[in-house]
Amino acid sequence: MATSKPDILIILLQKLMEEGNVLYKKGKMKEAAQRYQYALRKFPREGFGDDLKAFKDLRVSLYLNLSRCRRKTNVSLSRDTLFPLSMTSAVFLA
């Protein structure tokens, strides 16, 4: 059971990713991409603590899934979409 704020946030972000995955499987790429983008916007800027690996894995999965949706709809990832990844990759690699 989730007992801390990071645990609850991870569960909520995973739920958004699962919803996106269901939409993707149904062929609703635009709606799936919206779920992935919404989840990525909800990521905390700092304070990962002991949950760093879980957040890192989830963020990578969300970006990969978003990329799949964009590729299927022939929409390229914009600089605005990729910018948050470049800003946080240093945090995850450290």
pLDDT digits (tens, 9 = 90+) for 10-67: 999 999 999 999 999 999 999 999 999 999 999 887 766 777 888 889 999 999 999 9
**pTM exceeds 0.75, yes or no:** no
Domain region containing 68: 5-93
Instruction: Determine how many CB atoms are found less than 10 A away from the CB of residue 62.
Output: 23
Of all residues in the chain, what percent are helix, strand and coil, respectively (each to 5)? 80, 0, 20
pLDDT at 90: 42
Number of independent structural domains in the chain: 1
Residue 75: pLDDT band (50, 70, 90) is confident
**Gap between the Cα atoms of 32 and 56, Å rounded:** 20
